[in-house]
Amino acid sequence: MKSSELEQAVLDSTPLVLPPGTRILSLVLMGLGAAGFSAGFVAGRPAESWTALLVGTVLLIGLAVVGIVFSAIFQVTRARWGRAYRRLAEGSLALMPPALLFLLLFLAGGGPYLPWAHAEHLSGGKHIWLSRPFWDARVLLCLGLTYALALVFLYYSLRRDFCLPAVSGRLQGPLSRWLARDIPEPAGESERCSRRLAALAPLLCIAYAVCFTLLGFDLIMALEPQWISALFGAWYFMGHLFSGLALLILVASAKQDQYRLGAFFSAARQKDLATLLFAFGLVNIDFFWSQYLTIWYGNLPEETEYIITRTLSAEQPWPHIAWLALTFFFIIPFAALLFRKIKQNRALLGAVCLLVIGGIFLARFVEIAPALLPQPPGAGTAALIPVLLSSGSVLLAGLGAGLWLYNWFLTQVPVLPVGDEIFRSELAGGGEAHS
Amino acid sequence: MSTHPSNDENLGRFTYAEVDRDILATLGTPGKGYLALLLLCLGLVALGAFSWTYLVLKGIGVTGLNNAVGWGSLITNFVFWVGIGHAGTLISAILYLLRASWRTAIFRAAEAATIFAVATAGLFPLIHIGRLWVAFYLMPYPNGRQLWPNFRSPLVWDVLAVSTYLTVSAIFFFVGLIPDIAAVRDRQKPGPVKWILSIASLGWMGTMLQWKHYMAAYVLFAGLATPLVISVHSVVSWDFAMSVIPGWHTTIFAPYFVAGAILSGLAMVITILVPLRKVFRIEHIIRPFHFESMAKLLLFTSLIVGYAYATEFFIAWYSGNPFETSVFVYRPTGDHAVAFWTMVVCNAVIPLLIFRSRIRKSLGALFVISLFVNLGMWFERFNIIVTSLGHAYMPSRWGSYTMSLTEWGIMLGSFGWFFLLFLSFIRLLPAVSIAEMKEAMPAPAKGATS
């Protein structure tokens, strides 16, 4: 495909207006989330509302950045095969506003429900580490730093596309005009953007790993102040990469028809994505098992209590959720993704992706909720349904708001990274056929 | 932007005949340098054999081990060599599945390093138990006394994991060699060598059907080997993490050990390949581009290892566990602080130089960095093993450890053994895969074959 033909094809696929039904669907989901969040307050159980908000937030803050991290990973590895998905992945920034809003809301109102906030004694460095406002500042700093780097990376990625006259001439939305401003020498500017992207990509990946490790410790592990797991931070950020990839596959599948992207998203590429999902699933379960086995075998009470409450106790309702989560994020996807036919079938692969996201959501729920909502012995799983539904609705509200922004974002920029040299060379047939 | 030619550009310069000629030339008459190296390795092996014999005759007391530090350099060497054995399978299996075509020029040497490193590692548990004639107790076998190994012990998991890894890696290595053994066979005059190679090449004729089955088997073995790369060093890490020794019992150990193993394996592959390409005049086949790609992987794993170092310290401080905190204060400040700081500087600081494009494109710089990483990874194992055992729980049982001359002899012998095996291999079989080089060549070059 010639460069001009490629640019034309990409621009023809780029929508200039929001797809029909976007606003309504987003508003419905946001309304659902508001209702779910309010339900606990209305019922006189505010802890449930704050728990639901925290569960939704810890997922959204990661999903909001992980798409841009994937784009950075493609940049660092110089991978050819996944280039076409870069822009759709970068659209994850649409989740940043709701994620930040939810987090600020939790910091403003959920603080009193943090178990360590009123613990009588915190051992070791916890009395310093788990003190407010240090905790709040750290959470905001970690998230702010990662988001800032991600946005700068995204800026250069988009700006490079607008160095192409065809793109800046066709797309005229407010974001498009801002990205296309002051480009007197397009070739030089494109080269500058590429250099900046090459420098920023590893920085973003490192910042993501470090900052989300700390966020995992602060937002989840610290809820049980006596419990520690050195791998917990990595388990947390790996969960985002896993569920983020599942979300990307779902989005790509939906947009493929909506924006006529079939020529760029071949069945072989979809299979590659599915294989990558399988690989992330294995890493994810490796991190899970490395924690579980070490704690189980060590049999130290300060470590096992956390595991027993959530996965083994017959008196607690949590184990049902925990095993359901494991089934969703590992057992079914692992078994399903062994089969090539499932990887190549969009509907079946989409179902697997939904399970992965659901499984990670349930895993976060079962990590957070027992600390904030301790259940009396003998409580049934049914007692958890209201807070589980609230948590799900908060997540859906965030995704709903994100959907609106995401679709708007795709009206402002090319739906494929048309300025990316490797993407262009791959389509021109100059690349390695199998890389 | 890389100024080195890409893998495709590099491969596009050859014809099939040139690939055959240049790679098979490495099997010609050895030079003086090669023979000198071989002699040095033989000398080291003799020293190792002498030291081991001395240990067997006199007992484990000739080592520096004591009541507090019951595992020392022998287990350090075991973990170190198992780690070295990771890069080969990473490069040959995982990068194959990821379709990283740059692996073609280097994977054979890396695979050989894997097999020989794991074979070297396997010696150390035997040496460490002192009475090696009772080593068969580790194996589960039916016996009249109803004696079985304790399957709940991670040490038994280790025996199973390492032996499985060695078996699968060896088969994978052999399968990859079959077309090349046939290529060597076809150049031999009739005689015993040709007869042996004919048997070893399993009747390979290079027919379409054979290639079809071969590729299916190769993918299958790559798929089998990949989880084993992860599992084997995870299980090695659990030798430590399953205990409740401070500094050992931590959930991060499995991925941390796997990353460390890949780091050390890559460093060893770079250490081997930089002189190898020069000595055998295959600089035009193993090019700076390949080293740059390996350097990036090395940097990536170094960052993971650095992350694990930092996390361990943070968690020790955060937990407030006095025993844990005590060990993590002891490591950078105690008797073995040199080991700790060597580990940190060599594994987590020096590799950061690879961020500079100029450094990762300089083979000399990469060679020096790889030597530092080799050193650092040995000290990492030493630091983990010795400091935790020497400083666990009650001060009344604390102790220190110094390697005895016998242990030095055994360790040097293991290096001699590893390099002896490697040097022998590169004289007998192609150190670069002829078949995969040809397969990866762009179509016009294939057409230009003789």
What count of CB pairs under 8 Å joins A to B?
A: 88
Q: What is the pLDDT of residues B118-140, one digit of tens each?
A: 999 999 999 999 988 888 888 88
Average pLDDT over residues A142-164: 96
Instruction: Provide φ and ψ at A171, rounded to 5°.
Output: -90, 125
Q: Is residue B202 scored above 70 in pLDDT? A: yes
Residue B222 Cα, gap to closest chain A Cα (Å): 14
Q: In which band, very low, low, confident or very high, does the pLDDT at A85 lie, cut at 50, 70 and 90?
A: very high
Would the pLDDT of B54 be above 90? yes
Which of A159, A82, A174, A68 has its CA nearest to residue A419?
Answer: A159
Residue B43: inside a domain, yes or no? yes
- Is the Cα torsion angle A106, A110, A115, A118 positive or negative in sign? positive
Q: Which of A206, A228, A432 shows the shortest C-beta gap to B303?
A: A206
Looking at residue B280, its amino acid is F
- Distance from the Cα of A123 to chain B's closest Cα (Å) equals 5
Residues of A in contact with B252 (CB under 8 A): 230-231, 234, 290
Query: Is residue B264 within 8 angstroms of chain A, CB to CB?
Result: no
For residue A214, give how far its alpha carbon lies from the nearest alpha carbon of chain B (Å): 10
- CA distances in angstroms from B165 to A293, B88, B169, B300, listed in the order given: 21, 12, 6, 24
Q: Is the pLDDT of residue B61 over 60?
A: yes
Q: Is residue B95 assigned to a domain?
A: yes
CB spacing of A124 vs B249 below 8 angstroms: no
* DSSP code of residue B59: -
Say yes or no to pLDDT of B318 above 90.
yes
The reported pLDDT for the residue numbered A429 is: 63
* B6 — pLDDT class (breaks 50, 70, 90): low
B130 inside domain: yes
Q: Judge whether B2 lies within some domain.
A: no
Residue B1 has pLDDT above 60, yes or no: no
Contact criterion met (CB < 8 Å) for A230 and B312 = yes
pLDDT band at residue B225 using 50, 70 and 90 as cut-offs: confident
How many angstroms separate the CA of residue B241 from the nearest CA in chain A?
A: 6
Q: How does residue B377 score in pLDDT terms, banded at 50, 70 and 90? A: very high
Query: Are A318 and A309 spatial neighbours (Cβ–Cβ below 8 Å)?
Result: yes
Query: pLDDT confidence of B331, banded at 50, 70, 90?
Result: very high
Q: Is residue B74 part of a domain?
A: yes
Tokens 């190769």, residue? B218
Phi/psi for A267 (5° steps) reads: -65, -35
- For the CA atoms of B179, B184, B187, B189, the dihedral, rounded to the nearest 10 degrees, stands at -120
Domain containing B162: what range?
Answer: 7-447
pLDDT of residue B286: 85
Contacts of A293 in chain B (CB under 8 A): 238, 242
Is the residue at B13 inside a domain? yes
What is the pLDDT at residue A8?
Answer: 84
Q: What is the three-class DSSP state of B52?
A: helix
- Is B332 within a domain? yes
3-state secondary structure A207-218: HHHHHHHHHHHH
Query: Would you state the pLDDT for residue B219?
Result: 86
Comparing alpha-carbon positions, the chain B residue that sits nearest to A430 is B8
For an interface test with A, the pick among B318, B355, B393, B439 (most A C-beta atoms closer than 10 Å) comes out as B318
B322, closest residue in chain A (CA to CA)? A124
- Scanning every residue of chain B, which has its alpha carbon at the shortest distance from the alpha carbon of A127? B318
Set of chain A residues whose Cβ sits within 8 Å of the Cβ of B443: none
pLDDT confidence tier of residue B450, bands split at 50, 70 and 90: very low
What's the one-letter identity of residue A410?
A: L
Residue of A nearest to B100 (CA): A435
Question: Where residue A82 falls among pLDDT bands split at 50, 70, 90?
Answer: confident
Query: Is any Cβ of chain B less than 8 angstroms from the Cβ of A429?
Result: no
d(CA A350, CA A369): 28
Please name the amino acid found at residue A319.
P
Chain A contact for B321 (CB, 8 A cutoff) = yes
User: Residue B42: left if φ>0, alpha if ψ -120 to 50, beta else—which one?
Assistant: alpha
- CA torsion A431-B2-B7-B11 (nearest 10°) is 110
pLDDT in tens, A264-303: 888 888 999 999 999 999 999 999 999 999 999 999 999 9
Q: Model confidence over A359-387: pLDDT tens digits?
A: 999 999 999 999 999 888 888 888 899 99
- What pLDDT is stored for residue B14 in this prediction? 67
B246 neighbourhood in chain A, CB within 8 Å: none
Are B252 and A234 an interchain contact pair (Cβ–Cβ within 8 Å)? yes
Q: Which of residues 375-434 of B touch A (CB under 8 A)?
A: none
**Does position B103 have pLDDT exceeding 70, yes or no?**
yes
Indicate yes or no: CB of A300 within 8 angstroms of CB of B249: yes
CB contacts of B249 in chain A (<8 Å) are 294, 298, 300
Q: Does the interface ipTM go beyond 0.90?
A: yes
Put simply, whether A119 touches B (Cβ < 8 Å) is no
Interface of A with B in 324-343 (CB under 8 A): none
- Residue B449: pLDDT band (50, 70, 90) is very low
A435/B99 touch (CB, cutoff 8 Å), yes or no: yes
Question: What is the rounded average pLDDT for all residues in chain A?
Answer: 92
pLDDT tens digits along A199-235: 999 999 999 999 999 999 999 999 999 999 999 999 9
Q: Average pLDDT, whole number, for chain B?
A: 88
What is the structure's pLDDT at A337? 96
Is residue B232 within 8 A of residue B82, CB to CB? The reply is yes
Q: Are A83 and A421 in contact (CB under 8 A)?
A: no
Cα gap A356→A201, rounded to integer Å: 26
pLDDT value at A130 more than 80: yes
Chain A residues whose CB is inside 8 A of the B307 CB are: 209-210, 213, 234
Q: Enumerate the residues of chain B whose CB falls inside 8 A of the CB of residue A290.
A: 234, 251-255
Count up the domains in chain B and report the number.
Answer: 1
pLDDT tens digits, one per residue of A22-64: 999 999 999 999 999 999 999 999 999 999 999 999 999 999 9
CB contact under 8 A, A129 and B318: yes
| Short-list A242, A268, A201, A223, CA closest to A369 | A223
Chain A CB within 8 Å of residue B219 CB: no
Task: Please determine, for residue B226, whether its predicted confidence score (pLDDT) is greater than 90.
Answer: no
Q: Is the pLDDT of residue A120 over 90?
A: no
Residue scoring higher pLDDT (B50 or B290): B50
Q: Is the pLDDT of residue B34 over 70?
A: yes
The residues near B261 (Cβ < 8 Å, ≥ 6 apart) are B82, B83, B84, B85, B86, B233, B236
